[in-house]
Amino acid sequence: MLIGIDASRAVAAQATGTEVYSQRLIRALIDLAPDHYFRLYFNRPPAANLFRAGNVESRIIPFRRLWTHIRLSWEVTRRPPEVLFVPSHVLPMLHPRRSVVTVHDLGYLHFPDTHPTAQRLYLHASTRWNARASARVIADSQATKDDLIRHYRTPADKIVVAYPGLDPAIRRVQDPQHIQAVKSRYGIHSEYLLTIGTLQPRKNLSRLIEAFGKSSDDFSRRQQEATDPTGALRRVATTHPLKLVIVGKKGWLYADLFKQVAQLGLADRVMFPGYLPDADKAALISGATALVFPSLYEGFGFPVIEAMACSTPVICSNTSSMPEAAGDAALLVDPLDTDAIATAIDRILSDIDLRRDLAERGVTQAAKFTWQACARLVLGVLEDVALR
C-alpha cells in the first residue's frame, strides 16, 4: 500500500507538541510497516537522516505561499497515494477521497481569548474542514473526540482515539553530575519548579506565576538531604530560594509575563531560559522538584508524561485531556483557581511522601503511552480507509 503523509510539520527547527507528534508518529509508522511504501511530502528539505528507509520516498515540493492548498493539492491530485495522512496540519483542498487527518485539540473554542483573532478563525475553519472532509479522524484524546462530536457534529464512529507516545529517550537521569551540568548551563543553582510550554496565554503562565508568588518561599531552607533507594527524590540543601523555571520559546503576549514578574518582585526567582532542546530535556526535568503544568487546555499534554517518565512529581490541570494523561499519578487542580495552584505547590514542597508516591505512580502511568501503540492504531485506520 502506498501511504502519502504530509510531513511538512516534521521539519520544524524548534519542534513543539504537534511537530513532535508528526516526527515521532511518522518514524513509528515507517518502522512498524516495512511492507508498505511511504511517500512523504515536505515543503523544505528535511535533515539527511530524518526518515531514511528503503520503503520511503521523500517529495520535496517547495512553494512560497499556500503550500498545502495549492502545491500539495496539485501533487496528490497528479500522483495520488492510496491513502493520504495529515498528522499535524490541515487537509489540502484537493485530496484523495481516502484521507485521514489528526485533530489535536479544540482549545480555541473553550478559551477564545487565549488565541489571536486571526489564528482562532483559521483554527475553527481548518478543524471544521478536517472533520468534514476526511474519511476518518484521529483524535489525541477522548476529550478531543468529545469536542468534535459536540461542536462539529462529527459522527462518533468516524473518530479513533490514539494517544500519542513518549520519546524513549525521556527517562530519569541518574547521574547527578549530568543534571548539575545542565542546570548550570541554564543558570539554575537552587531547587526549582519547572514548567514547559510556548509562552502564550493558553499555557496559563500568568496564574502560575501568581500562585508561585503566594506559595511558601522557604522550601530550600527547610529541606534537608533526603534520598530514597533509587535516588529519584534526591534533595540538596541550599541557601538559595526556590525558583520557578519557565522553559519554552516566545509565542504571543509573552512580554506581559515579564512585566508581571517584575511587578510581583519575583525577578530573582522566576527564570525564562527559552526553548528547551531535546538533549537537555530529561536532565532538566529530572532535576526539578516538580513539574507544574496548569495549562488551560491541551489536546494531550506531553510535559505531563515526560515528567512522570523522569520520576518527577506533577501538578497539572483537571481539564481537557490532562486527566487522561495523568491518571491517578498527579495532583489535579482547577487551572482558573490561583489559590488551588498555590495550595498544590505547597503540598508538593512540604510532603516528601507525597512526592515519592506521585513519582512511583508516574513511572507506571507514563509507560502506558508509546509511539508503537499509537502507530498500530493509526496504521489500522489507514489500512481500513485504503480498502474502502
pLDDT in tens, 4-45: 999 999 887 666 778 889 999 999 999 999 999 999 999 999
| 338-350 helix and 205-214 helix, angle to the nearest 10 degrees | 50
| Start-to-end C-alpha separation, the chain | 13
**Banded pLDDT at 238 (limits 50, 70, 90):** very low
pLDDT of 153 > 60? The answer is: yes
Beta strand 314-317 with 243-247 is unpaired
How is the chain split into domains, by residue range? 2-165+370-386, 176-366
* Average pLDDT estimate for 75-85: 96
In angstroms, what CA-CA distances link 22 with 34, 221, 236, 322?
19, 44, 38, 20
- C-alpha torsion 311→204→16→319, nearest 10: 70
pLDDT category of residue 115 using cuts at 50, 70 and 90: confident
User: What CATH class is the domain 176-366?
Assistant: alpha beta
**Alpha-carbon distance 187 to 226, whole Å?**
23
Q: What is the pLDDT of residue 216?
A: 58
Q: Do the domains at 2-165+370-386 and 176-366 have one common CATH topology?
A: yes
Give me the chain's average pLDDT, please: 91
What gap in Å lies between CA 253 and CA 192, rounded to an integer?
24
Q: Report the range of poorest mean pLDDT among 119-133, 164-178, 210-224, 236-250.
A: 210-224
State yes or no: pLDDT of 181 exceeds 70.
Answer: yes
Q: What is the pLDDT of residues 196-215, one digit of tens each?
A: 999 999 999 999 999 999 98
Has this prediction a pTM greater than 0.85?
A: yes
Q: Is 78 exposed, middle or buried (0-12, 13-18, 19+ CB in 10 A)?
A: exposed
Amino acid occupying residue 195: T
Q: Is 244 helix (H, G, I), strand (E, B) or coil?
A: strand
pLDDT of 341 > 50? The answer is: yes
Distance of CA 98 to the CA centre of its chain: 28
Q: What one-character-per-residue DSSP string does 10-32 give?
A: GG-SS--HHHHHHHHHHHHHHHH
CATH of domain 2-165+370-386: 3.40.50.2000
Reading across the β-sheet that carries 2-6, which strands appear in turn? 56-60, 37-42, 2-6, 83-86, 99-103, 136-139, 159-161
The 10s digit of each residue's pLDDT in 251-301 is 888 889 999 999 999 999 999 999 888 899 999 999 999 999 999 999 898
pLDDT score recorded for residue 217: 54
Residue type, 20: V
